[in-house]
Structure 1
Amino acid sequence: MSSLPDTPQLQHRFTQHCRTGIRTTLPGVAPDRLTHYRQAIRHMVKDTMESAYPITCANIPARKWEGMVRTFFARHACTSYQVWKLPLEFYTYAVENNWDDVYDIPYLSDLLAFEWAEIEVFNMEDIAPAAFVSTGHWLETPLVLNPEYRLLSFKYPVHREARRARLLKEKGAWFVLLHREPGTGNVKFTGISPWLAFVIEQLAAGITVKDILEYAPQLGITVTEELEKDTLAFLTDMQQQHFVFGFQP
């Protein structure tokens, strides 16, 4: 059945009212019902953001948080038809509008990115890993990694700290590995050094640990027995955590 000619205009007026609170009238709709519709939708958006960003919500002033959600809802024309993806548009809007400065929260983008990445990894489509075997040479055999992961870099250690004063004191280069555990679907995150972040990038490209270590001096890194030992210990631990699956056949 075809829509009436003015249906798009009526839909626009309805959504504008829900988003901004600007009064309007719609044929056949009582004004008090419009208020209820707006409240219901606003609560849905607010609940969605607070569920997606619990750390952000809990650790910034309530007025700022409510102002962010209100501004986003009123001014951003959402495009996703899946509610669980709405927080991504919130994060993108915050970055595009420089909310780190606007709300004087320098680590806001990092914090939102970290919390969104956990959602993204949890909900990502299944990716079949490459073929692998359980035994091999840690230095000379290419490793097979869990393909369901994200490697993130931050200016602030938002993965381990939420208090403003401490975060601001620890500005630097921070790296976090998130991966989805096979079977359970749980998302795990691990704070790692810049060196280990580089190692993971190279391993994902099929480079062996031996070749990575041999290249390290070109990065200004001195290769020692301790560095090699710590690197292999990390990879062994990552195998226990189901990020390293095994060795290429």
Structure 2
Amino acid sequence: MDNKTFSLQTDLALYCRTGLYEPQTSIQEHTFHYRRLVYNVIKDTLRRAFPMTRKLIGKRRWKKMVMHFFEYHKCQTPQVWKLPQEFSDYYQQVNFPFKKKFSFLVTLLQYEWLEIEVFMMEDLPIDEFSIEKKSQEDRIIPNPEIKILSTEYPVHLKNGKEITEEDKGQYFVSVHRDFYTKQIQFNDLSYPFVEIILKANEGCFSRKDFIELLAKYDSDREKIMKLYQDFEQFALQNTIFLGYQI
């Protein structure tokens, strides 16, 4: 790309964002349409990405957020579907006047973005597995297409308008792509089970390994074994675990 072409692209991008300093183009009478078209692409992409955020803060605040992002943020990604991540990051950097009113909005934006990120992520390699367990020592094959979000507010459990400071605590939600349907699933989890999922994705572990891990949280062996057995069944039914190593 020569310097002249790069300079024109830079000038056109600035014009599209701000509406100022209209550059000279080959069809000048069409130049003003570029800004409207680009804005509509960004507006529609963000609208689809953040339905919960839009509903929570209202149309007026949402419109101001999007326009602020459009005018002042220099987008880094050439892929439109990744714009919501930049929007989420941008919100954290800008001192919007309503930030104090919606203390958990950073988390809600991250939560909604994760759904897109996991849905669009590349297929990851998975070892062959069987859904039948032959022995208690069979190693678990986990679903690697998963993200864990740690949050102070239950954005995955309650309507945003019902969340208050009294709800503030420690929550964990898994966001994963179902192995068979490819749809996104969300699950509220306690930390011991989050640790099991993380360990499973670090390498192959057996039932015995996971029970030993849970022993850090409770000394009642019988209770621990029942907890793990229930979680394993839950994880298999929801394709957080896929099966057992062949």
Report the TM-score when normalising by structure 2: 0.86
Q: 2:157 aligns with which of 151, 155, 160?
A: 160
Deviation of the 1:99 alpha carbon? 5.7
Partner in structure 1 of residue 233 of structure 2? 236
Q: 1:107 aligns with which of 84, 91, 104?
A: 104
CA contact 1:64–1:103 (8 Å) conserved in 2: no
Deviation of the 1:98 alpha carbon? 6.0
Q: Residues 52-67 of structure 1 correspond to what in structure 2 (within 5 A)?
A: 52-67=49-64
Deviation of the 1:176 alpha carbon? 0.9
Residues 8-41 of structure 1: CA deviation (Å, up to 9, x unaligned): 443333222211122535356556x444322222
Deviation of the 1:77 alpha carbon? 0.9
Describe the shift of the 1:101–1:154 C-alpha distance in structure 2 as closer, same or farther (beyond 3 A).
farther
Q: 1:18 aligns with which of 9, 16, 19?
A: 16
CA distance in 1 between partners of 2:95 and 2:24 (Å): 36
SS in 1 for 2:197: helix
Write the letter of the residue equivalent to 1:72: F
Deviation of the 1:146 alpha carbon? 1.1
CA distance in 1 between partners of 2:239 and 2:129 (Å): 13
Write the letter of the residue equivalent to 1:43: N
Structure 1 consecutive aligned stretches of length 4 or more whose deviation exceeds 6 Å: none
SS in 1 for 2:69: helix
Partner in structure 2 of residue 37 of structure 1? 34
CA contact 1:100–1:107 (8 Å) conserved in 2: no
Describe the shift of the 1:126–1:86 C-alpha distance in structure 2 as closer, same or farther (beyond 3 A).
same
CA distance in 1 between partners of 2:35 and 2:100 (Å): 26
Write the letter of the residue equivalent to 1:229: K
Describe the shift of the 1:22–1:222 C-alpha distance in structure 2 as closer, same or farther (beyond 3 A).
farther
SS in 2 for 1:150: strand
Q: 1:93 aligns with which of 83, 90, 95?
A: 90
Describe the shift of the 1:138–1:118 C-alpha distance in structure 2 as closer, same or farther (beyond 3 A).
farther
Report the TM-score when normalising by structure 1: 0.85
SS in 2 for 1:115: helix
Describe the shift of the 1:152–1:19 C-alpha distance in structure 2 as closer, same or farther (beyond 3 A).
same
CA RMSD of aligned residues (A): 2.7
Q: Residues 138-177 of structure 1 correspond to what in structure 2 (within 5 A)?
A: 140-177=137-174
Describe the shift of the 1:28–1:131 C-alpha distance in structure 2 as closer, same or farther (beyond 3 A).
closer
Describe the shift of the 1:213–1:97 C-alpha distance in structure 2 as closer, same or farther (beyond 3 A).
farther
Structure 2 unaligned runs (5+)? none
Partner in structure 2 of residue 207 of structure 1? 205
Deviation of the 1:191 alpha carbon? 1.0
Deviation of the 1:224 alpha carbon? 5.1
The percentage of counterpart residues that share the same residue type is 32
